[in-house]
């Protein structure tokens, strides 16, 4: 089992939005970074743990716990010429962009970026590295356990 941090802008898809869906599951569409795509395509497996992170908002941070709910499959937004995620080089025969479904498990108290930075165990966490802009990053087992403990203590 692997662990991931997946960023979403709450104005697009918040943890509350996903929990309001009938099966609490959302296709993680719109990823247009090859490294993040490769994580989904090559490494993610059903059942992997996900830290659901709100980004580009007043207070960014971990807002919930989720899990990978599907294997990777083509992101249909790449084929829709009206979508902001449209990619004219992608075809159904040779899709360029993949996604996985993510199932929200629960909303948690927000663990802010400042709180994450203050925890020594998380000093190497990829989301805290200068210049990190990836929307999906791996989380080590130690980092996962630390964040889960922080949530239990909150």
Determine if the pTM surpasses 0.75: yes
Domains detected in the chain: 3-153 (3.10.590.10)
Helix (H) or strand (E) holding 35: helix 34-38
Q: What is the pLDDT of residues 123-150, one digit of tens each?
A: 999 999 988 889 999 999 999 999 999 9
Structure tokens at 23: 């099966």
Structure tokens at 115: 């709180």
Q: What is the pLDDT of residues 38-65, one digit of tens each?
A: 999 999 999 999 999 999 999 999 999 9
- CA–CA distances in Å: residue 36 to residues 53, 81, 118: 15, 22, 26
Helix (H) or strand (E) holding 137: strand 136-139
């Amino acid at each position: 089992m692997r662990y991931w941090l997946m960023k979403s802008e709450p104005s697009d898809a918040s943890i509350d939005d996903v929990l309001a869906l009938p099966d609490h599951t959302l296709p993680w569409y719109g990823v247009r970074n090859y490294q993040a795509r490769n994580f989904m395509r090559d490494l993610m497996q059903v059942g992997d743990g996900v830290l659901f992170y709100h980004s580009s908002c007043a207070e960014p941070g971990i807002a919930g716990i989720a899990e990978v709910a599907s294997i990777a499959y083509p992101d249909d937004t790449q084929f829709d010429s009206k979508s902001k995620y449209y990619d004219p080089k992608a075809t159904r025969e040779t899709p360029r962009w993949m996604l996985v479904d993510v199932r929200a498990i629960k909303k948690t108290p927000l663990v802010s970026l400042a709180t994450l930075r203050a925890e020594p165990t998380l000093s190497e966490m990829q989301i805290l590295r200068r210049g990190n802009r990836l929307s999906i990053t791996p989380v080590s087992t130690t980092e996962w356990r630390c964040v889960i403990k922080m949530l239990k203590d909150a």
